[in-house]
């Protein structure tokens, strides 16, 4: 185990910064209660039990790339659980971290998590209270709205695209999946930690809430009579409404939107993966410097 000095020093932007290093805690027993946040990460029954008992006030970030995003995000870290190799990789970025860093062999990490965690790095962070939908809308000029988007990988990819094209927030209907689910966070490459999100309840009332704040709501649909997205003018405030693959948007959601838009496609293909479709539409709507 590396022996760290009580403080570490680094130079940033020509200025010498000195900050305390986190507590490094060796873990040699998979039953150690200090790493209980990481037990059985692939066990759906255990996950549901935690939700029933209220022990779901945290989420898991996996891999060094995502953990770096977590360290730069507004979320408060509970702890890190690393192999020695990953500790060496992340150590320069842990200065000032007010959370313990648990370090264990790959075998112990695997035993705790319940699968071969080849990335060798996971972190636990506190969930924040979600902002009200009206607050999220007030702070953005380009918003993504989802209805029934319950695939965690699609949701993670959607957040990555939202970040890439400058969306100021994502508004989720009550049936959309949890953006902070481990797989969503990983697929988003940590971008879900930087894009604000809120729940729209009741639904589809959240659509009207955006319209009241001056948003033009564009419902993305493969319907042949919808407008070509390329012909839509950019306006100061716009929202892109997306449904799940397969069922698409409900009649109520489509009826509540200001306009229906589509992405023209060649041949017999009439639809795209929802995250891919969102990327194309957001590229058109994105605000550019």
Tell me how crowded residue 71 is: count the other CB atoms within 10 A of its CB.
20
Tell me what pLDDT residue 46 has.
58
pTM for the whole thing?
Answer: 0.88
Q: What is the pLDDT of residues 224-267, one digit of tens each?
A: 899 999 999 999 999 999 999 888 999 999 999 999 999 998 87
Q: What is the pLDDT of residues 180-238, one digit of tens each?
A: 999 999 999 999 999 999 999 899 998 999 999 999 999 999 998 999 999 999 999 99
Tell me what pLDDT residue 44 has.
66
Stretch 65-69: mean pLDDT? 97
């Amino acid at each position: 185990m590396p022996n760290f000095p009580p403080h570490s020093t680094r130079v940033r932007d020509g200025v010498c910064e000195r900050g305390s290093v986190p507590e490094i805690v060796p873990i040699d027993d998979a039953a150690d209660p200090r790493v209980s946040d990481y037990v059985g990460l692939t066990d759906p029954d255990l996950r549901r039990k935690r939700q029933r008992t209220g022990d779901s006030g945290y989420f898991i970030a996996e891999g060094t790339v995502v953990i770096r995003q977590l360290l730069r995000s507004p979320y408060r870290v509970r702890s890190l659980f690393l192999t020695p190799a990953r500790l060496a990789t992340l150590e320069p970025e842990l200065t000032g971290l007010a959370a313990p860093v648990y370090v264990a062999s790959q075998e112990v990490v695997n035993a705790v998590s319940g699968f071969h965690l080849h990335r060798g790095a996971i972190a636990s962070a506190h969930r924040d209270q979600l902002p009200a939908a009206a607050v999220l809308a007030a702070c953005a000029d380009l918003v993504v709205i989802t209805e029934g988007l319950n695939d965690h990988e699609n949701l993670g990819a959607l957040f990555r695209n939202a970040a890439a094209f400058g969306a100021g927030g994502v508004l989720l209907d009550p049936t959309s999946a949890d953006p902070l689910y481990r797989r969503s966070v990983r697929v988003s490459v940590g971008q879900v930690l930087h894009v604000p999100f809120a729940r729209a309840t009741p639904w589809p009332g959240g659509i009207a809430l955006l319209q009241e704040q001056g948003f033009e709501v564009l419902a993305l649909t493969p319907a042949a009579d919808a407008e070509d997205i390329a012909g839509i003018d950019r306006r100061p405030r716009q929202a892109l409404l997306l449904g799940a693959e397969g069922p698409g948007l409900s009649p109520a959601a489509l009826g509540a939107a200001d306009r229906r838009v589509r992405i023209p496609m060649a041949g017999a293909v009439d639809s795209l993966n929802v995250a891919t479709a969102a990327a194309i539409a957001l590229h058109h709507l994105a605000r550019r410097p």
